[in-house]
């Protein structure tokens, strides 16, 4: 599947690390480091703008290493990017640890999985 993307981040495009990887790492696109205090949350821009085909979504998921080692996770996991969204892909991160965590430019902050979905039609019954 081919997906149109604009990369304004200065970092390489998201890519699959292995042949069997389901997700691609997303990187922070920030001018200066962001320090997240315990229980604080922030939307971190990626500098990526995508055009998904109708019938697909991009799911934004936590990176297991950040979650397990640092207590940093995606707040609305999985976040959904709809096919009609054209803005900067942002990642809502939250610090669930007891220590400050600093996000650096280019740091891998989440992963993105492209998924097909169906549209439902309701059928009212009694």
State how far the Cα of 73 lies from the Cα of 66, in Å rounded to an integer. Answer: 7
Structure confidence by residue, pLDDT tens digits, 40-67: 999 999 999 999 999 999 999 999 999 9
pLDDT, residue 35, reads 98
pLDDT, residue 123, reads 96
Bridge partners for 44 per DSSP: 91
Residue 67 main-chain phi, psi, to 5 deg: -65, -50
pTM exceeding the 0.95 threshold for the entire prediction:
no
**Taken in order 23, 91, 118, 4, is the CA torsion positive or negative?**
negative
pLDDT, residue 90, reads 97
pLDDT, residue 80, reads 96
pLDDT, residue 107, reads 97
Q: What is the mean pLDDT of residues 114-121?
A: 96
Tokens representing 46 are 């990626």
Percent of the chain with pLDDT over 70: 100
pLDDT, residue 86, reads 97
Residue 59 main-chain phi, psi, to 5 deg: -95, 130
Within 8 A by CB and 6+ apart from 111, the residues are: 23, 24, 25, 26, 60, 61, 62, 63
56-61 and 90-95 strand pairing: unpaired
State how far the Cα of 111 lies from the Cα of 118, in Å rounded to an integer. Answer: 22
Structure confidence by residue, pLDDT tens digits, 69-94: 999 999 999 999 999 999 999 999 99
Tokens representing 16 are 């699959």
pLDDT, residue 58, reads 98
């Amino acid at each position: 599947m081919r997906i149109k993307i604009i990369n304004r981040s200065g970092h390489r495009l998201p890519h699959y690390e292995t042949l069997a990887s389901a997700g691609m790492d997303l990187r922070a696109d920030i001018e200066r480091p962001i320090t997240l205090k315990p229980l604080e949350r922030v939307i971190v821009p990626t500098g990526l703008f995508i055009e998904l085909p109708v019938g697909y979504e991009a799911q934004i998921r936590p990176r297991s290493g950040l979650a397990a080692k640092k207590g940093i996770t995606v707040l609305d996991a999985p976040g959904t990017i709809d096919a009609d969204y054209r803005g900067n892909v942002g990642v809502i991160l939250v610090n669930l640890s007891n220590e400050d965590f600093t996000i650096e430019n280019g740091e891998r902050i989440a992963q993105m999985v492209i998924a097909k979905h169906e549209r439902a039609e309701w059928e009212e019954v009694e």
